[in-house]
Amino acid sequence: MEASIGIKFNDFALIASDSQAVFSVLVVKHDCDKIYKLNDHLMMSAGGEPGDAVQFAEFIAKNIQLFRMRSGFELAPKHAATYVQRNLADYLRSRTPYQTNLILAGYDKDTKTPELYWIDYLATVCEVPYAVHGYAQIFTLGLLDKDYRPDMNEEEAVELMKSCIKQIDKRFLGSLQNFHIKKVDANGVTVLPPISVKDFVKE
């Protein structure tokens, strides 16, 4: 009943995630931010079992910060994705696996390119141009296949993200009303204005 969408373009990457915290059939919060800033040029959305998602995302964020303090430099997105995968895989083989699905986006300052990684709870990692977690992928992947262009500017990219959220609102049984959206580029992680389905004109 959650939705996270990540899209990579030539100069930046976006992640949007719904803002609901749910327990069973109850909506507990409407303003939950599920996109975590891992370092200045790296962010990650986390969904799944609420306790697992929050605990694992904070564990990764704190350890990446610890690595920067000890080494004096930031992990590149590819290395961060490998670190996340290793930890998920280790816990998967323990008595306390994490039931969380992740989208990791970052900007590599060496290659001057954005990167996007799809990661699931089985520790599968794949670098992709766009990624979706949750039932939302049923409604949005076809749209992204059709309309995505890597050379989109920020305004076009946000409109593409809004188109995906419109499809979720129109076709999904669940009620996902508000989405947080963040951008990562050469200047770092930026919080963009949230997207609310109330702002859409009903078609």
Q: Could you list the pLDDT tens digit for every one of the 203 residues in the chain? A: 789 999 999 999 999 999 887 777 777 777 889 999 999 999 999 998 888 999 999 999 999 999 999 988 889 999 999 999 999 999 999 999 999 999 999 999 999 999 999 999 999 999 999 999 988 899 999 999 999 999 999 999 999 999 999 999 888 877 788 999 999 999 999 999 999 888 775 54
Give how far Cα 60 sits from Cα of 38, 54, 63, 64, 124, Å.
Answer: 8, 10, 5, 6, 16
Q: Is the pTM of this model over 0.85?
A: yes
83/24 Cα distance (integer angstroms): 31
**Predicted local confidence at residue 202, as pLDDT:** 54
CA distance 167 to 195: 13
Which residue is listed with tokens 């997105």? Answer: 77
pLDDT recorded at residue 201: 58
How distant, in Å, are the alpha carbons of 8, 39, 61, 70 from that of 159?
A: 14, 26, 29, 40
Question: What pLDDT sits at residue 203?
Answer: 47
Q: Give the pLDDT score at 175.
A: 75
Query: Pairing state of beta strands 100-108 and 26-29?
Result: unpaired
Bridge partners, 183 (sequence order): 14, 190
In SS3 terms, the chain reads as CCCEEEEECCCCEEEEEECCEEECCEEEECCCCCEEEEECCEEEEEEECHHHHHHHHHHHHHHHHHHHHHHCCCCCHHHHHHHHHHHHHHHHCCCCCCCEEEEEEEEECCCCEEEEEEECCCCCEEECCEEEECCHHHHHHHHHHHHCCCCCCHHHHHHHHHHHHHHHHHHCCCCCCEEEEEEEECCEEEEEEEEEHHHCCCC
The four Cα atoms 152, 153, 159, 163 give a dihedral, to 10 degrees, of 20
